[in-house]
Chains A and B, each alone.
Chain A
């Protein structure tokens, strides 16, 4: 199946630091990628939909100025957590859909665990 990578897998930073997370589709093109956040023992919550070449669509309650998304190419989307605070600590997961297929499957990356001290 298709592979989605995320980098870094784990990051620990001080409060006030900005953190950048990369999501790459390794063997397919993805015009649309999705960013989720998952707190311990909870479900995946969609934060935003990232569209190649256009602005991301944010879910209600997600601050677009805090969670900056850039989808510069068909294989790369980045999420930048600006001025991270301890409450931003979470498991961030991206997913991507193969633009060339009619199938609706979303391929998930391995996730990035962010800890803000």
Chain B
């Protein structure tokens, strides 16, 4: 089942912060975050594998609450280059024959304006 992302869209001014949420109705093994710019392929941001795990680089970080089956992506001090559509991809626990298959949310469109 497709994970639910919120919000659907957000507009920020440079320097502002944003949080994008991703929740699933299924038990998750991992959550992957990608950013896609118009007409281009998704670019990998990070993977979170274990409950309660947090990761981050530069001013983008994420958390994964395995028990709640939720992940959040945190963008701080946003830059113009952060604009794009952010997708979370979820891998259910025990993927079986479809190992490493990801189901993507509908995306969150982030627009950063000067």
Is the CB–CB distance between B42 and A49 below 8 Å? no
Size bracket of the B interface: 20 to 34
Q: Which residue of A lies closest to B5 (CB)?
A: A43
The listed residue with most B CB atoms (<10 A of its CB), out of A43, A46, A57, is: A43
Q: Main SS of chain A's interface residues?
A: strand
Count A-side interface residues using an 8 Å CB cutoff: 22
Q: What 1/0 flags go to B94-114 for Cβ under 8 Å of A?
A: 000111111111110000000
Instruction: Pick the interface stretch among A61-69, A81-89, A101-109.
Output: A101-109
The listed residue with most A CB atoms (<10 A of its CB), out of B40, B41, B47, B103, is: B41
Within the complex, which residue of A1, A46, A57, A103 is in contact with B102, where a contact is CB–CB below 8 Å? A46
Complex: A107 Cα to B89 Cα, angstroms: 13
Q: Which 7 A-B residue pairings sit nearest by Cβ, starting from the closest?
A: A108-B41, A111-B41, A44-B104, A43-B104, A43-B106, A110-B41, A108-B42
